[in-house]
A and B are shown apart, each in its own frame.
Chain A
Amino acid sequence: MNIIKTSVAVLTLVGAVFTPQETLASGDTPHAPKQEWSFNGLFGTFDQAAAQRGFQVYQEVCASCHGLNLLSYRHLSGIGFNEAEIKAIAATVEVQDGPDSEGEMFDRPGIPADRFVSPYPNPQAAASSNGGKAPPDLSLMTKARLGGSNYVYGLLTGYADAPIEFELPEDGNYNKYYPGHVIAMAAPLDDESVEYTDGTKPTLAQHAKDVTTFLAWAAEPEMEERKRMGIKVLLFLLVLTGMLYAVKRKVWEDLH
């Protein structure tokens, strides 16, 4: 983590003033505090147990409004589900398929190759069931918001009563970290929203942490492989560059 921070700091100094600046649209919305994530740092990996619990939270709570349309059920092997489990998970949904040889559409149980089934048949239906604005797809949520996973966690745990002077619209909810504070989604999670099977204590913070881990994986399923390969690539380049430097020294020796 320190290496990342240092490198980023150096880059910030050198090139940097160029870096896209985080600008808060609404002026006073604070950044969500940083959390300790298993996937932080050069060697970070997804906590699979947390991601699986998070998947359960997604299935039982989020999935009633939010899609995950970039993922297929088969992808779930990335957080440690085995083939049989994935088949069982996929089989719980109904997928419209067809047309068959008679030209009829038909429903069948899902298979691992199917995309996660959206809660609504189309964006219009999603919007009309939710006060005019469709709930965003969650596939890339931790990459698509400033603050990433910290923001998602902050949002899920950031519901509070509005300050007295704050004018909250009737159909809005107050959230500490949502830009502008007024969010259409009511607090989705609470203590014991989901019953865990592994004995983990079902607190709001735990639910939020687990589902954020799941979503972080959903947004960057390649992350573990990427970091593993990155270590090898950088070590290789380090050795190669060191040898090239030695060759350079040797070649230039007679000139100096």
Chain B
Amino acid sequence: MDTNNMHPVMKWVEYRLPVFSFLDHSLGTQYPTPKNLNYWWNFGSLLGLVLVIMIASGISLAMHYTAHIDFAFNSVERIMRDVNYGWLIRYIHMNGGSMFFIAVYIHIFRGLYFGSYQAPREILWMIGIFILLAMMATAFMGYVLPWGQMSFWGATVITNLFSAIPVVGDSIVTLLWGGFSVDNPTLNRFFALHYLFPFVIVGLVVLHIWALHIHGSNNPTGIDVKNKEQDTVGFHPYFSVKDLFGMGVFLMFFMFFVFFAPNFFGEVDNYIPADPMVTPTHIVPEWYFLPYYAILRAFTGDFLVYQVVSLGGLLMDAKLAGVLAMFASILLLLFMPWLDGAKVRSCRFRPIMAMAFWVFFLDCLVLGYIGGKPAEGIYVTIGQFTTFYYFFHLLVLVPLISRLERPKPLPESINASVLKAAE
């Protein structure tokens, strides 16, 4: 950055703490960005925006919320009715959770399609998976705070999963609950952790962006930057303005739900105060957990995959297998850089892998659908098949296709691909 043209005050600061050149190198004209990034690359900055919105609205809510089982439900309703614009803050926060997951899932599938996890971006990708895990924990605990029926029973079902762990399972559950059932101590610690975790996410995001800046963004062709002059443009103004436009579109989508369908993503049961004596007829998690919920429930005694992995039931019971499979479904993604053995990143040049990607995408949607259905009849069969396919894709198809498929010829450079597309 040319310090000679700076305002004297800026220059004074810059000499002592070089914030301006730091910004210029991380988000400004000096951060080279592949010029062929498409709109799927907008979701990173959108996630940053949602994180800020969630923290800002969340802190405002925390100023009015009471983390006690006798008051939590009514304190949320007080926010909705009597706090100035409380309904707005609360609906932003509530729908923000769903927006966060919509954006993060698109972000992840984008990475999968264009091979963004491949060398040298393995650590960048893995930090991203940890962010997803932290988001899931935060969202789960946040959903418990209004202390409605689904809050209570969701918390009961999910925390009970840990009891499947051999030997220490019951102790872990007691620790999570702070007692012997989901009760006031549970609500209190969930509130404390729900407030803490977003800042853990912020820390992880800093690492994520740091790792990103070492090798820069991947791009739709998946090929490396060869000539900085020809292949890249400065992040500012090109991508700063493109990201701002994306934020406008995304905010319209977000705000539509906040103002006109604020309970679209929610469950009606959560407007009934928690009652430990009355079990809802159908306990379901929030929509963004449904695929994992389907995987969890797929593991029954007669599920063939269970029979195989547990050596006919010798190794573990079906509940433990389901819990492990649920966690494995996410943790496996950590190994994507090595499961995928291809030399070419982008599925644009890997037609067979692209096809497998879309089938996998569809499989995840179906898992989500099944997760919202009662575990009976045909839903069980579909759930078990799609669960099998989820792991089959990651553990068999990806390693095989990536190593056997002959990719299409790559463009000479990012610049060449842009010029060719323009013809």
Which residues of A come within 8 Å of B, CB atoms?
Answer: 4, 7-8, 11, 15-21, 23, 25, 42, 70-71, 75, 136, 139-140, 143-146, 148, 179, 219, 221-222, 226-227, 229-231, 233-234, 237-238, 240-241, 244-245, 247-248, 251-252, 255-256
Contact = CB atoms under 8 A, between A and B. Distances in A.
B381 interface: no
Contact of B81 (A4, A75, A179, A234): A75
A163 B56 CA distance: 56
Interface stretch (B64-72, B243-251, B310-318): B243-251
Interface residues of B, number: 52
Interface stretch (B116-124, B136-144, B366-374, B390-398): B366-374
A233 B258 CA distance: 11
Contact of B241 (A25, A179, A244): A244
A248 B245 contact: yes
B422 interface: yes
Contact of A144 (B262, B272, B286): B272
B24 interface: no
A139 B273 CA distance: 11
Interface of B: 35, 74, 77, 80-81, 87-88, 91, 102, 233, 237-238, 241-242, 244-245, 248-249, 251-252, 255-256, 258-269, 271-272, 281-282, 284, 286-288, 290-291, 365-366, 368-369, 372-374, 422
A219 B238 CA distance: 46
Nearest to B258: A230
Contacts of A23: 281-282, 372-374
Contacts of A11: 264
Given A21-B373, A143-B263, A240-B248, A229 B88 contact: yes
Contacts of A17: 365-366, 368-369
A222 B268 contact: no
B102 A15 contact: yes
A139 B248 contact: no
Looking at A71, A226, A234, A248, which has the most chain B CB atoms within 10 Å of its CB?
A248
Nearest to B262: A226
Contact of B238 (A75, A230, A237, A252): A252
B251 A237 contact: yes
Contacts of B77: 70, 139-140
26 contacts: A7-B256, A7-B261, A17-B368, A18-B291, A19-B372, A23-B374, A25-B282, A42-B260, A70-B81, A75-B81, A144-B269, A144-B271, A179-B281, A222-B81, A222-B87, A230-B260, A234-B256, A237-B248, A237-B251, A241-B245, A241-B248, A241-B251, A247-B244, A248-B241, A251-B241, A255-B238
A255 B81 CA distance: 51
Nearest to A228: B259
A20 B287 contact: yes
Given A23-B282, A229-B259, A234-B255, A255 B35 contact: yes
Sorted nearest first, the 6 A-B pairs with minimum C-beta distance are A230-B259, A241-B248, A25-B281, A144-B271, A17-B369, A18-B368
B187 to A, nearest CB: 20
A21 B74 CA distance: 27
Contacts of A140: 77, 271-272
